[in-house]
């Protein structure tokens, strides 16, 4: 059955559905020689080009070998940015990733330049979109070193919800991670991926996160034997667990 153009191209790794919408609006995508429209649907026999480059359509039926997405895990070190290019010449998280024969790596969420930890990539735009969209409530867990120890009333407020500049936000859970001296560790879970959300939540209570490490995204956790800068491809059962989430 024909599928919406955004869904098909996202599944082929062209980019997110929002990115594809932008290409359509700019007139850069053609279907069978005509400029694509947002409501177009594609079947396997259609000819699709982006900037005159042919995009091969493979069968997208769920469960076929061609439709299985690749998922790459990366232990992001501090100092790298989550962008394909940087005008300032800083190293990006895409710099050392293996090359794909087809499509491109799409980052599932982001980490700011001063954060480290688990970052996932996929060649399937639909999977990336589903794992990032707030409506799907995919858990992100972080180990956070806070300068100072939070009082119970502050922790209660963070669990109940506080108003940030982009709306109400909260931690789904907070676990004490111990610590000595002024610094104290907490393990926190959020269900969205807003910009600097974890840091801003702590700052709302007058506390600053001096170190932040993402240790889990959905069903995928950061292995203890991995080191910053390493990447590894998820096994099929791990990918299936992500798909089911």
**Category of 163 on φ-ψ map: left (φ > 0), alpha (ψ -120 to 50) or beta:** beta
Please report the pLDDT score of residue 245 as a whole number.
67
User: Closest Cα partner for 202 from 222, 221, 184, 178?
Assistant: 184
Please report the pLDDT score of residue 122 as a whole number.
92
Pairing of strands 208-217, 116-122: parallel
Distance (Å, whole) CA 189 – CA 192: 9
Please report the pLDDT score of residue 66 as a whole number.
46
Please report the pLDDT score of residue 58 as a whole number.
58
User: Closest Cα partner for 209 from 158, 172, 160?
Assistant: 158
DSSP 8-state class, residue 245: -
Taking the chain (245 residues) in runs of 10, the rounded mean pLDDT of each run is 82 77 93 93 88 72 53 96 88 91 86 96 84 87 94 96 94 93 93 91 95 96 96 91 77
Supply the residues annotated as catalytic: 112
Distance (Å, whole) CA 158 – CA 145: 16
For 47, the token pair is 């000819």
HSE-up (13 A, CA, CB side) for residue 71:
23
CA angle 140, 239, 221 (to 5 degrees): 35
Find how far residue 200's CA is from the centre of its chain. 19
Please report the pLDDT score of residue 208 as a whole number.
93
Find how far residue 86's CA is from the centre of its chain. 19
Distance (Å, whole) CA 198 – CA 205: 12
Quick one: 63 exposed, middle or buried, by C-beta within 10 A (0-12, 13-18, 19+)? exposed
């Amino acid at each position: 059955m024909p599928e919406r153009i955004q869904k098909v191209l996202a599944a082929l790794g062209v980019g997110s559905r929002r990115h594809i919408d932008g290409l359509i609006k700019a007139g850069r995508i053609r279907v069978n020689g005509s400029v694509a429209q947002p409501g177009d649907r594609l079947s396997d026999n259609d000819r699709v080009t982006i900037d005159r480059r042919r995009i091969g359509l493979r069968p997208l039926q769920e469960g076929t070998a061609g439709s299985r997405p690749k998922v790459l895990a990366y232990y992001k070190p501090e100092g790298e940015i989550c962008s394909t290019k940087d005008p300032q010449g800083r190293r990006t998280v895409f710099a050392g990733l293996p090359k794909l024969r087809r499509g491109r790596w799409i980052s599932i969420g982001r980490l700011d330049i001063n954060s480290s930890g688990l970052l996932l990539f996929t060649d399937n735009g639909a999977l990336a979109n589903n794992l990032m969209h707030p409506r799907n409530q995919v858990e992100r867990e972080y180990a956070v070193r806070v300068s100072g120890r939070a009082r119970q009333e502050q922790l209660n407020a963070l669990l109940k919800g506080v108003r940030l500049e982009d709306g109400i936000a909260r931690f789904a859970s907070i676990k004490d991670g111990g610590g000595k001296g002024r610094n104290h560790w907490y393990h926190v879970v959020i269900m969205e991926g807003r910009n600097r959300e974890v840091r801003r939540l702590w700052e709302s209570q007058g506390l600053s996160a001096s170190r932040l490490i993402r240790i889990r995204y959905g069903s995928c956790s950061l292995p203890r034997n991995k080191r910053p800068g390493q990447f590894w491809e998820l096994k099929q059962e791990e990918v299936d667990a992500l798909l089911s989430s």
